[in-house]
Amino acid sequence: MSLNAIPLLSIIMFLPLLGALVVLILPGEENQKWWSLLVTTLTFLLSLALFFYWKNGEAGFQFVERYAWIPQLGIDYHLGVDGISLFLVLLTTFLGPLTILFSWDIKDRLKTYLFLMLLQEAGVIGVFISLDMVLFYLFWELTLIPMYFLIGLWGGPRRVYAAVKFFIYTMLGSTLMIIAILALRYFYGSFDFVDLLHGKGLPATAQLAFFGAFALAFAIKVPLFPFHTWLPDAHVQAPTAGSVVLAGVLLKMGTYGLVRFCLPLFPAATKQMVPVMMTLAIIGILYAALVALRQKDLKGLVAYSSIAHLGFVVLGIFALNPSGISGAVLQMVNHGVSTGGLFFLVGMLYHRAHRRMVADFGGLWKQLPVFGAFFLVIMLSSIGLPGLNGFVGEFNILIGAFKASKIAAFIATIGIIFAAWYLLYAFRQVMEGPLDKPENKLLPDLNAREIIILASLVAVILLIGLFPNIFFAKINPSVLELVHFVKIHAAPVLITPLPTQ
């Protein structure tokens, strides 16, 4: 039996969901933890088949599954991955077992916690592989529910406020998106993404309206300035594993949506909105970096750094050239690994000291040398040190931005300088100097479970940084086809409908 005959995407998506249901009836906390770790690890191993059996050089969707689901409404069960979504699926499955490992000491309502974590993973995978717009929307909404409860039940002192704010912001964007999806069905007679691509183009006013509805939903999820205010609260109040999932994969749903839907479905409107989107991206980069410099809470600093880094991703997307978009796609993965790693580090430190303020530490390298070594590598990867993953993505984004706008590229580069400033400052304040606080002299270094988590992240950081072509070989064909498609269909004068492909 060939691999194409196996519904691999369905298996990868439904395995965490099945695992979540089993957790609810499985007795014993140890059994529940080991089962969750087994399910997430198996999901990751299965997802590696997507990578190893990938057909390099092909730009279209692979491992496609399509069945009539609700034919009366024209809704299909349609799944597939291309070079744009492949590594986002792998990132999601990679972070799954790491978040379960980190959550090993959770005692409060463990069964519910594990159920929500597994449900979250299934939902995010569904977002990245759905090619029917209704199916995509269902998974998009599904991811909202577990994160709402993870923040609201296991978060910090202001967890309810943060959870409600997260829910309201996301639902606002989702409401506009479902209206736009229904309107697309009216224009095209189909909910299927591939059918929409090959249908007749929309006139100017319709394209701009649809772009606005979709882009707002995605901009809130990114979050792009000025729709970012929900994120710092959510990150600071969320449990560590929740912050990792939020930064690692949930925010990528927004940037992924911009690439997957806004660019190819509304190319002429995209062309018109480039100055606006690039301006918002640059403002977000600089604003978030300046606010990060003022943060006294380590978790708050990482939260604002996340906003700044995703501003680079949006900048690369709307450069509308292969360098920018390929760099943006890879940087989505880089951000999930590096920022996820920073949140893991902050969580590990908090579990030991029960404090997160920068001023509460100093000289920790003497007490926690293994922790310090991992902190140094992951921090440098987030800055974009050559040889590490962040450099590859940011370098390609800046090349793409420079081709699109030299001024935008120059201003964005200032954001990189700020990133080095606030991250190096935080590292120096926490790890260097005298170990002069007595309570810090009793902190234990990393245990084996924590070393496994951080070593896994560092391995990916080095793999991407040293061998980026392994990733670009799979990303570039899909990006080149996307850029060509947008260029052809982005007519300079938007008066008549775009020609049929």
Mean pLDDT along residues 446-459: 96
Among 288, 174, 306, which Cα is nearest to 244's?
A: 306
Over the stretch 318-372, which tens digit does the pLDDT of each residue have? 999 999 999 999 999 999 999 999 999 999 999 998 888 888 898 899 999 999 9
Percent with pLDDT over 90 in the chain: 66
User: Between 156 and 459, where is the model more confident?
Assistant: 459
Give the chain's length: 501
Mean of pLDDT over the chain: 90
| 3-class DSSP assignment, residue 297 | strand
pLDDT value of residue 499: 38
Mean pLDDT along residues 485-490: 86
**Which three-class secondary structure string do you get for 450-463?**
HHHHHHHHHHHHHH
CA of 251: how far to CAs of 101, 259, 265, in Å? 22, 13, 21
Residue 84, φ and ψ in degrees, nearest 5: -80, -35
Mean pLDDT along residues 163-169: 88
- The domain ranges of the chain are 3-489
Token pair in block for residue 163: 């959870």
Token pair in block for residue 343: 């949140």
Q: Measure the CA–CA gap between 459 and 402, rounded to whole angstroms.
A: 31
pLDDT value of residue 3: 64
Over the stretch 26-44, which tens digit does the pLDDT of each residue have? 998 899 999 999 999 999 9
Task: Choose the weakest-confidence range: 76-80, 195-199, 464-468.
Answer: 195-199
For residue 496, pLDDT over 50 is answered with no
pLDDT value of residue 108: 84
For residue 245, pLDDT over 70 is answered with yes
Query: CB count, 10 Å around CB of 39?
Result: 24
* Stated pTM of the model: 0.92
Mean pLDDT along residues 62-89: 93
Over the stretch 262-293, which tens digit does the pLDDT of each residue have? 999 999 899 999 999 999 999 999 999 999 98
Over the stretch 375-415, which tens digit does the pLDDT of each residue have? 999 999 999 899 999 999 999 999 999 999 899 999 999 99
